[in-house]
Amino acid sequence: MSSDPDRNERMEKIVSLCKRRGFIFQSAEMYGGLNGCWDYGPLGAELKRNLKNYWWQKNVVERDDIVGLDGSILTHQEVLKASGHVGGFSDPMVDCRTCKARFRADQVAEQRCPEKPSRNPQENGCDLTEPREFDLMFKTSVGASSDEGAVAYLRPETAQSIFVQFKNVLETSRQKLPFGIAQIGKAFRNEINPRNFTFRSREFEQMEIEFFCRGEDGLRLTDEWLEARIAFYEQIGIPRDKLHVLDVPDGERAHYSSKTYDIEYDFPFGVQELEGVAYRTDYDLKKHGEASGKPIEYFDEATKEKLVPHVVEPSAGCDRTVLALICEAFDEESVTGDKGKEEARTVMRFDPKMAPVKCGVFPLLKNKPELVAKAKEVKALLAPLMNVFYDETGAVGRRYRRQDEIGTPFCATIDFDTVGENGPELEGTVTVRDRDSMAQERVKIAELPGYIAGKMA
Ligand code: GAP
3-class SS of residue 421: coil
Other CB atoms within a 10 A radius of the CB of residue 451 amount to 15
Between strands 388-390 and 359-363, the pairing is parallel
What contacts 24+ positions apart, CB below 8 Å, involve 7-14?
7/268, 7/269, 8/268, 8/269, 10/268, 10/330, 11/196, 11/197, 11/267, 11/268, 11/269, 11/327, 13/330, 13/332, 14/197, 14/268, 14/326, 14/327, 14/330
Same fold, 4-75+157-326 and 357-455: no
3-class SS of residue 277: strand
| DSSP run (H or E) holding 8 | helix 5-20
Mean pLDDT by 10 residues, the chain (457 residues): 83 98 98 97 98 98 98 98 92 86 84 79 85 91 86 98 98 96 98 94 98 97 98 98 97 92 97 98 98 96 95 98 98 87 94 98 97 98 98 96 98 97 96 97 97 92
For residue 429, the Cα-to-chain-centroid distance in whole angstroms is 37
Determine the residue type at 66. Answer: I
Q: How far is the CA of 377 from the centre of ligand 1 (A)?
A: 45
Question: What is the residue-wise DSSP string for 330-389?
Answer: EEEEEEE-TTS-EEEEEEE---TTT-S--EEEEES-TT-HHHHHHHHHHHHHHTTTS-EE
Determine the residue type at 318. Answer: C
Q: Find out whether the beta carbon of 190 lies less than 6 Å from any atom of ligand 1.
A: no
* Dihedral pair phi/psi, residue 87, rounded to 5°: 85, -10
Q: Find out whether the beta carbon of 161 lies less than 6 Å from any atom of ligand 1.
A: no
Residues 403-433 pLDDT 10s: 999 999 999 999 999 999 999 999 999 999 9
Q: How far is the CA of 408 from the centre of ligand 1 (A)?
A: 29
User: What sign for the dihedral angle of Cα 131, 155, 174, 313?
Assistant: negative
> How many angstroms separate the CA atoms of 439 and 52, rounded?
31
Q: How far is the CA of 187 from the centre of ligand 1 (A)?
A: 9
| DSSP run (H or E) holding 427 | none
pLDDT in the model for residue 232: 98
Contact 167, 295 (CB under 8 A): no
Q: Which CATH superfamily is domain 4-75+157-326 in?
A: Bira Bifunctional Protein; Domain 2 (3.30.930.10)
Exposed/middle/buried for 29, CB within 10 Å: 0-12, 13-18, 19+?
exposed
pLDDT in the model for residue 122: 81
Give nearest CA residue, ligand 1 atom 27: 317
Determine the residue type at 352. Answer: P
pLDDT in the model for residue 116: 80
Atom number in ligand 1 closest to CA 156:
4
pLDDT in the model for residue 1: 66
Q: How far is the CA of 55 from the centre of ligand 1 (A)?
A: 16
Among 281, 311, 320, 321, the mutation site with the greatest number of ligand 1 atoms within 8 A of its Cβ is 320
> How is the chain split into domains, by residue range?
4-75+157-326, 357-455
What pTM, to 2 d.p., does this model score?
0.95
Q: Find out whether the beta carbon of 85 lies less than 6 Å from any atom of ligand 1.
A: no
Residues 152-205 pLDDT 10s: 999 999 999 999 999 999 999 999 999 999 999 999 999 998 999 999 999 999
Atom number in ligand 1 closest to CA 263:
14
Q: In terms of CATH architecture, what is 357-455?
A: 3-Layer(aba) Sandwich (3.40)
> How many angstroms separate the CA atoms of 455 and 433, rounded?
13
Q: Find out whether the beta carbon of 191 lies less than 6 Å from any atom of ligand 1.
A: yes
Q: Find out whether the beta carbon of 193 lies less than 6 Å from any atom of ligand 1.
A: no
